[in-house]
Structure 1
């Protein structure tokens, strides 16, 4: 086990760090977030495995860094920065879309129509065209999803306008 850690931990840390740096930069600049988000999240978690193995193998040498005040200053600055971001940007509920979707999926098509710049019948037609059964424009997306054994969020995505740059 020690040989595997010695031979592979640093190369994997390096490779996964490069992937994390590139995907993190792409996410920061909003370049194709759908392409990079899952990759960044999962491979950053995978990066922890060789990192922990590397620290474990080099524990004695790692602890020597803490004799130097620069390590303590760097760690303190990082913790302060992280805390500052948590205080300034943190909010209960996480992603706003995750809080908005349940509100939208519990609304009837008649209520959603003005928000989506469509008539209730247009929304019903979009859903029928997507393979859903719509009995009434008074139905909620949650009801339509339950009848189709689908997730309400998936049904919502079917009625959202496609394409970017729409001006209403």
Structure 2
């Protein structure tokens, strides 16, 4: 197994470890530049291949590590952590594909007009007046969806008025 000298193998592993680590962090934070995902994937494959060569080349050294109790405890702990990370989402699945924008709008549709008025930085009485100026009868205790239904309007019609209200002359 002397095809690749140990110093070259170690240097290659070090460089690939650094690049795969940095591109992995970039992917986590969604920093997209210079094809970091493709670089991460392909160098990840190369890292695995060279790591296997490294393992074979240093097999006797690894065997002595595995004879130590501290190594076995570390391996057990590592597998425990990995298993917990994999199993936890399976036991307690979270909703997937939630669109935060639609969740915010849905919450706003069901909130009292007084809360929506505060969100757009208007007094609730002013908000009711702005709606009244558009021939929409509303109470600050009603939700946007209730106001829309009572006035035969769409939720979007009401929200459009609500969000443009600060620009409406008094």
TM-score by length of 2: 0.48
Structure number with bigger Rg: 2
**What is the TM-score normalised by the length of structure 1?**
0.48
